[in-house]
Amino acid sequence: MAISLRGCDELLPQEDWLQKLARSDATGVPLRIKLGLDPTAPDIHVGHTVVLNKMRQLQDLGHQVIFLIGDFTSMIGDPSGRNTTRPPLTREQIEANAQTYFRQAGLVLDPARTEIRYNSEWSDPLGARGMIQLASRYTIARMMERDDFTKRFKSGVPISVHEFLYPLMQGYDSVALKSDLELGGTDQKFNLLVGRALQSEYGQEPQCILTMPLLEGLDGVEKMSKSKGNYIALTEPANDMFAKLLSISDALMWRYYALLSWRAEAEVAALKAEVEAGRNPKDAKVMLAKEITARFHSVAAADAAEQDFINRSRGGIPDEIAEIALTGAPLGIGALIKQAGLAPSSSEAMRLIDGGGVRIDGATVSDKGLKLAAGTFVVQVGKRKFARVTLS
């Protein structure tokens, strides 16, 4: 129970979960624990791993975890937390995204002990007759209890009929899989409760639900999202992942510890007490950045990323930088920076030069009229953009 509750927002009903755990312990039959993700984008970011971490913890206790890819529900579009209808994805988009999903989730879960399912297995065969029968088991009144539907209805924002199908189909997944526990973010609570209700309708023991908080992105304000640009992708290079984690605020760091770290809670509490007593918070942030980077890359990669960050902060050159070949020597510094992809325009390059943010081979550039002859040199723009440019 302590592992179940760590970092979670709600576990409902706790009494039922205790009974399920006791029964599993007595019979030796593992519980079926479900997490569904719609492949709406090709990459998973660390915000998604908040629930994946919980799955792994329960998996390590011997329970059967089911990683459900919502290839059918993606075609409907999840309306959770939205004030407009989300455009459904095409089958081609869904299939392309789904190909990468489990490979990335396997960086957290143990693939050998994970059951992978696609909800099209049972949703496609339902057909029109089955869909009507399923819809008869839930009322419009209960559907309108959902906050985002209620707000949209009261404000006159359209709600398409197909959006009512989404929570029904997610709930039907629980029926098809006979799940004992379903995990999700706090924005999924309504959908998870629909699963409980439908299981009762179909004569099954209702699942318990466990919701995890939504992780704030690097800005510390909005939830982590690719569309908001405040995310860390699981496929990011180790150096970038490490640097992004070091960029978060000191306050946000403890939120990341709570939701992403696998360190013991007592160890994290002791570390926080040391920081409050005067220890440099950067020490704790480096520990977190190395832990997360090592999880998705390797310990050696995390160590190298730390050294790379130190080199950058001292004005050194990173271990890996882009190799760019340009022609047209002699070439003006503004045009070179733009063509090398280090600034969106020559005028922006000039602004960066005015601010002292451009270096050539370690020397700060102050002359906006500088023309570079043929040769190879390292160009640095700002703190984190580097390129080795060969100009001919």
pLDDT score recorded for residue 376: 82
pLDDT score recorded for residue 73: 87
pLDDT of 84 higher than 70: no
Instruction: Quick: pLDDT tens for 313-323.
Output: 666 666 677 88
pTM of this structure: 0.74
pLDDT score recorded for residue 221: 86
Q: Which of 82-91, 267-276, 278-287 has the lowest mean pLDDT?
A: 82-91
pLDDT of 261 higher than 70: yes
List the helix and strand counts (H, then E) for the chain.
Answer: 17, 13
Q: What's the DSSP call for residue 125?
A: G
Percent of the chain with pLDDT over 90: 53
- Output the CATH code of domain 322-391: 3.10.290.10
Q: What's the DSSP call for residue 382?
A: T
Q: Which of 3-7, 87-91, 147-151, 157-161 has the lowest mean pLDDT?
A: 87-91
Percent of the chain with pLDDT over 70: 95
Q: At what angle do helices 49-60 and 250-260 cross, to 10 degrees?
A: 40
pLDDT score recorded for residue 99: 77
More confident residue, 117 or 391: 117
pLDDT score recorded for residue 145: 85
pLDDT of 264 higher than 60: yes
Instruction: Quick: pLDDT tens for 10-48.
Output: 999 999 999 999 999 999 999 999 999 888 777 789 999
pLDDT score recorded for residue 314: 63
pLDDT of 81 higher than 60: no
Instruction: Quick: pLDDT tens for 149-184.
Output: 888 889 998 888 888 898 999 999 999 999 999 999
pLDDT of 132 higher than 90: yes
pLDDT score recorded for residue 377: 77
Radius of gyration of the chain from Cα atoms?
25
Cα 191 from Cα 146, distance rounded (Å): 9
Tokens 């809670």 appear where?
265
pLDDT score recorded for residue 102: 81
Cα 230 from Cα 220, distance rounded (Å): 9
Tokens of 341: 């992809």
Quote the mean pLDDT of the chain.
89
CATH topology of domain 238-313: Tyrosyl-Transfer RNA Synthetase (1.10.240)
CATH topology of domain 2-212: Rossmann fold (3.40.50)
Angle at the Cα of 291 from the Cα atoms of 287 and 292, rounded to 5 degrees: 120
Amino acid in position 170: Q
pLDDT score recorded for residue 85: 53
SS3 56: helix
All CATH 3.40.50.620 domain ranges in the chain, comma separated: 2-212
Instruction: Give mean pLDDT, residues 227-249.
Output: 88
Burial of 179 (0-12, 13-18, 19+ CB in 10 A): buried
Cα 161 from Cα 187, distance rounded (Å): 20
Q: How confident is the model at residue 311 (pLDDT cuts 50, 70, 90)?
A: confident
Q: How confident is the model at residue 273 (pLDDT cuts 50, 70, 90)?
A: very high
Cα 8 from Cα 21, distance rounded (Å): 17
Amino acid in position 373: A
